[in-house]
Amino acid sequence: AQSVTQLDSHVSVSEGTPVLLRCNYSSSYSPSLFWYVQHPNKGLQLLLKYTSAATLVKGINGFEAEFKKSETSFHLTKPSAHMSDAAEYFCVVSPTGSARQLTFGSGTQLTVLP
């Protein structure tokens, strides 16, 4: 069985400061890990995905995440927050062999203050 835990339900940062959204995972297999973003009244958009090719994954809009097997973590970072980054972020795990039965974290609401 696999699961993800997003350690913060809400994160608030000032515009121009770094963003850190934390995610720990649990999986019996070597997992694939994803970060999705959801803006209000919109569907989910993929930010980035880890597929075991490289532990540091770069995504869209300046986001990146680092896979740390020893810590079972996949934290999402961005050097400088922008107002348009305000949204809900989901850490997602997909175990090998179960291609589309995604397991979502509970989400982290990111607020960006002017």
Query: Given the rule CB under 8 A, which residues bind another protein?
Result: 31-32, 34, 36, 41-46, 49, 51, 90, 94-107
Smallest distance, another protein to C-beta of residue 23, A: 14
CB of 86 to another protein, least distance (A): 18
Collect all residues with Cβ–Cβ distance below 8 Å to 39 and sequence separation of at least 6: 45, 87
Minimum Å distance from CB 114 to another protein? 27
Write down the least CB distance from residue 37 to another protein, Å.
Answer: 11
In this complex, which beta carbon is closest to another protein, that of residue 25 or of residue 90? 90
Cα–Cα distance between 91 and 93 in angstroms, integer? 7
Nearer to another protein, 105 or 110 (CB): 105
